């Protein structure tokens, strides 16, 4: 009985992009990449995925060669992305995109800038092109996660109301389809961005290059609020006021795409239909005027604006995921995204293992934890790997101690959000810092091989037990 295994990653800009390469390298060295059925990502880890899935056989290649190529782009001076020649290229691309029928916004420019930061030449790859990398089952199935927000709310309003009114709308993007987990509504990947009404395509618009689809994943460099002064809220009308309010309340860059659900009115009994994802965040749909179907455009942001996770698609019951390798690359608290996720799943009634940690563990995190709720067989086994620099400080490889001259290579300040060379807003690393981060996440995988394998063995035993119960009945 083969368990279904998934790798789940989190946001973090260049930090998460770089760290993911190291983790995948470790899994490749352990010959575990062939055991993985799904890979999910957001923010910087989607940049890793976009690069990898441009190669139809990437899991069979030596990832060290890929990492070597990525290293030079992370190290290069990003001022080259603002040269006169590049600016002319951006203008030409934006004009062409507008002529094709897309709604052009500042987020599209971000996508082009990011493309220049990470590649030498424009990348023609589209989401549907990645079908070539999975049509023979040769690589894990990639899932990109976004979040649709309502334009009448600022991000802080939306974040607060999501916890009370459950307005969040997870959007899942794969090489085959794009759609909402909330409504169970999907369209072909190549049709995403086209204009729809009542489920029919009204205007075919060329599929966007992936460079544009990654634009909402750039983390804005903004100060965090230190306090909130109690006061009454007065919101004057006007376009300029709305823009200023968005900036002041830290609303991130939005990506705009035609709403393929426009004109659809869901039956008031759709929650009774098993084909829909009946999480509790569908309760609001009993109010027709609150449905996404009334909006002209979708407004997509990084899901880290709500919870820094790409896990929801893996919890669809039809995917039957047995083991999730939760690779956390967050800045600051390594437990906050997991705690928020666990609370959210509990509120939604989604099977997920309980996260139980001692106070000592919460103060000094280890490299790997396994959470398994035996009494809840529908919950996956969670292998949680925070981004910590623990035994790596003294060991350059599992069981191989560092010499005095190598101690510096094990010092990686990976979680500080301000003073670390890996802060989320950093877009250029030195060669030494890039190597440290890749080596760290690679080491953390290799050093915890026994825990990963034990989780897989437990999943195998559980499936055998479930099969025996089924056959005996």
**Residues labelled as active-site residues:** 43, 302
Sign of the CA dihedral with 318 first, then 322, 327, and 331 last: positive
d(CA 407, CA 418) in angstroms, rounded, equals 24
Query: For residue 324, how many other CB atoms are within 10 A of its CB?
Result: 26
Nearest to 252 by CA among 341, 156, 164, 338: 156
DSSP 121: S
State both tokens at 50: 């976009």
Burial of 238 (0-12, 13-18, 19+ CB in 10 A): exposed
Beta carbons of 149 and 246 less than 8 angstroms apart: no
Distance CA 303, CA 65 (A): 30
Report how far residue 261's alpha carbon sits from residue 258's, in angstroms, rounded to the nearest whole number: 9
- What does the block give as tokens for 260? 């393929």
Q: What is the dihedral of CA 112, 115, 121, 124, to 10 degrees?
A: -80
DSSP string across 362-420: HHS--S-EEE--TT-TTSPEEEEE----SGGGTEEETTEEPPGGGGGGG----S-SSSS
Neighbour-count burial of 237, counting CB atoms closer than 10 A to its CB (0-12 exposed, 13-18 middle, 19+ buried): exposed
The 3-state DSSP class for residue 38 equals strand
Phi-psi region of 9 (alpha: psi -120 to 50; beta: other; left: phi over 0): beta
Rounded CA separation 456/462 (Å): 10
Helix segments in 82-154, DSSP class H: 84-100, 106-118
Q: How many residues does the chain have?
A: 473
Smallest CA-to-CA distance from 130 within 122, 138, 142 is with 142
Name 299's bridge partners: 256
Give residues with Cβ within 8 angstroms of 252, minimum separation 6: 155, 216, 219, 220, 301, 302, 305
**Which structure tokens are listed for 401?**
């101690």
Residue for token pair 């086209």: 194
Q: How far apart are CA 321 and CA 313, in angstroms?
A: 10
């Amino acid at each position: 009985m083969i368990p279904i295994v998934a790798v789940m990653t989190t946001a973090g800009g260049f930090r998460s992009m770089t760290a993911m390469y190291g983790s995948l390298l470790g899994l490749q060295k352990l010959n575990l990449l062939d055991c993985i059925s799904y890979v999910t990502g957001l923010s910087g880890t989607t940049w890793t995925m976009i690069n990898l899935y441009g190669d139809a056989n990437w899991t069979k290649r030596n990832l060290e060669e890929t990492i070597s190529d990525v290293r030079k782009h992370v190290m290069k001076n990003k001022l080259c992305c603002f040269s006169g020649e590049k600016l002319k290229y951006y203008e030409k691309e934006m004009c062409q995109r507008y002529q094709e029928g897309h709604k052009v916004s500042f987020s599209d420019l971000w996508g082009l800038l990011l493309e220049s930061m990470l590649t030498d030449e424009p990348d023609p790859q589209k989401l549907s092109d990645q079908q070539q990398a999975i049509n023979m089952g040769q690589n894990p199935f990639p899932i990109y996660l976004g979040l649709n927000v309502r334009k009448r709310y600022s991000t802080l309003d939306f974040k607060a109301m999501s916890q009370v009114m459950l307005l969040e709308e997870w959007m899942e993007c794969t090489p085959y389809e794009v759609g909402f987990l909330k409504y169970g509504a999907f369209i072909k990947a190549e049709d995403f961005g086209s204009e729809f009404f009542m489920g029919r395509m009204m205007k075919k618009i060329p599929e966007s290059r992936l460079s544009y689809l990654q634009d909402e994943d750039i983390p804005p460099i903004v100060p965090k609020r230190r306090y909130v002064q109690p006061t009454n809220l007065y919101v004057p009308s006007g376009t300029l006021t709305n823009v200023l309010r968005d900036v002041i309340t830290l609303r991130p860059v939005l990506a705009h795409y035609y709403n393929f659900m426009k004109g659809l009115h869901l039956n008031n009994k759709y929650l009774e239909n098993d084909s829909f994802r009946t999480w509790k965040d569908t309760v609001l749909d009993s109010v027709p005027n609150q449905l996404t179907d009334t909006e002209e455009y979708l407004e997509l942001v990084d899901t880290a604006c709500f919870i820094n996770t790409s896990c929801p698609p893996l919890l669809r019951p039809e995917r039957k995921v047995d083991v999730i390798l939760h690779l956390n690359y967050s800045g600051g608290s390594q437990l906050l995204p997991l705690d928020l996720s666990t609370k959210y799943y509990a509120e939604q009634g989604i099977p997920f293992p309980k996260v139980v940690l001692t106070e000592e563990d919460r103060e000094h995190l280890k490299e790997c934890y396994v959470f398994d709720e035996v009494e809840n067989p529908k919950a996956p086994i969670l292998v949680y790997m925070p981004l910590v620099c623990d035994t790596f400080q003294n060991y350059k490889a599992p069981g191989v101690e560092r010499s005095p001259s190598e101690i510096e290579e094990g010092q990686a300040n990976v979680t500080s959000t301000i003073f670390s060379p890996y802060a989320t807003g950093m877009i250029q690393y030195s060669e030494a810092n890039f190597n440290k981060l890749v080596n760290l996440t690679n080491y953390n995988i290799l050093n915890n091989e026994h825990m990963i394998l034990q989780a897989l063995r437990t999943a195998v035993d559980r499936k055998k037990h479930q099969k025996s119960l089924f056959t005996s009945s």
